[in-house]
């Protein structure tokens, strides 16, 4: 069992690390650079080469049943869900076999709308304290559930 964090532009790296350290879960913070390595023995910062989706590929090649992945990247989430991993978005929303198809469809639709109207105001809603709190609770529950499943 491991926790994989798609750490480039991730707003909850510190929270994910804290929860994983408390629960004793091996954690991989995967990024292109710019992170200070953790001194905790269970937390490994993985620096991948620069390039499109290299960090995503690294995670997708390793995540599987019993693992938890934190990402906002829907295509990466879909690969991880298909491999049997549990996936959590930064706002605490779980992506599962039941909802990943809709998440992919919505992502594609929004990309099409943005490309059709380049002057359309963009950007998502801000990331606030409620999102951070929801994430902490959801990650704690998800890691505990993964540990229970691994033990049985």
CATH topology of domain 2-118+126-151: Rossmann fold (3.40.50)
Does residue 112 come out as left (phi exceeding 0), alpha (psi in the -120 to 50 range) or beta?
A: alpha
pLDDT band at 123 (very low <50, low <70, confident <90, very high): low
pLDDT averaged over every residue in the chain: 89
Tokens encoding 79: 């690969």
Burial classification of residue 68, based on how many CB atoms lie within 10 Å of its CB (0-12 exposed, 13-18 middle, 19 or more buried): buried
d(Cα 28, Cα 44) in Å, to the nearest integer? 5
pLDDT band at 34 (very low <50, low <70, confident <90, very high): confident
What pLDDT digit, counting tens, does each position of 37-53 carry?
888 999 999 999 988 78
Q: Hey, where are the domains in the chain?
A: 2-118+126-151
Confidence at residue 122, expressed as pLDDT on a 0 to 100 scale: 60
Residue in 80, 10, 73 with CA at minimum distance from that of residue 45: 10
């Amino acid at each position: 069992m491991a926790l994989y964090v798609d750490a480039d532009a991730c707003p909850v790296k510190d929270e994910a690390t804290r929860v994983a350290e408390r629960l004793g879960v091996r954690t991989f913070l995967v990024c292109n650079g710019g992170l200070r390595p953790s001194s905790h023995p269970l937390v490994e910062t993985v620096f991948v080469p620069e390039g499109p989706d290299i960090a995503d590929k690294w995670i997708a090649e390793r995540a599987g049943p019993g693992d938890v992945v934190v990402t906002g990247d829907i295509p990466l989430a879909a690969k991880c869900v298909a491999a049997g991993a549990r996936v959590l978005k930064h706002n605490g929303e779980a992506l599962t076999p039941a909802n990943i198809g809709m998440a992919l469809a919505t992502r594609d639709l929004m990309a099409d709308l943005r490309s059709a109207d380049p002057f359309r105001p963009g950007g998502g809603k801000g990331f606030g304290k409620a999102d951070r709190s929801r994430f902490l609770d959801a990650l704690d529950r998800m890691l505990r559930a993964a540990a229970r499943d691994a033990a049985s």
